[in-house]
Amino acid sequence: MVSFEMNDRKKIGLGLTGFGVFFSFLGIIFFFDEGLLAMGNILFLSGLMLTIGLKSTMQFFTKPKNYKGTISFGAGFFLVLIGWPIVGMIVESYGFIVLFSGFWPTVAVFLQRIPIFGWLFQQPFVTSLLERYRGKRVPV
């Protein structure tokens, strides 16, 4: 059972996840700095575990339909840790996209509702891509 209440553990988890994304972004900006990328990965995964729980995280990563994404994400994480940050981030990004592809439509709807920034995601070209991604037929 998933609880939607916001307790302190989930707040800390969201903060760690945000810092993980931030450190990964900094690691890319600073020409694929291994330390920042590794720290970003560790913070992101620990934040995810605190936010949704250890059991739910393990179930998410071990679902048979998520094996390809999990293996790619894990291999990329390992490559970053052993000192191949560019190759590792490419492999890890592919795994991230495959793993979290089911969440992209929800993220797009959220982004459309952000003031000032949301107008970009409300443009006909972007909405047509999102509709195609969801599997609905959109006249071209």
pLDDT at 138 over 80: no
Reported as a single tens digit per residue, the pLDDT across 70-105 is 999 999 999 999 999 999 999 999 999 999 888 877
127 falls in which pLDDT band (50, 70, 90)? Answer: confident
3 falls in which pLDDT band (50, 70, 90)? Answer: low
For the question of whether the overall pTM of this predicted structure is more than 0.85, the answer is: no
- Angle at Cα 96 formed by Cα 94 and Cα 101, nearest 5°? 100
What average pLDDT score do residues 27-38 get?
95
pLDDT of residue 112: 82
Nearest residue to 32 via CA among 111, 98, 91: 91
To the nearest 10 degrees (0 to 180), the angle between helices 8-29 and 34-52 is 160
- Distances in Å between the alpha carbon of 78 and those of 51, 82, 89, 96, 99? 23, 6, 10, 14, 17
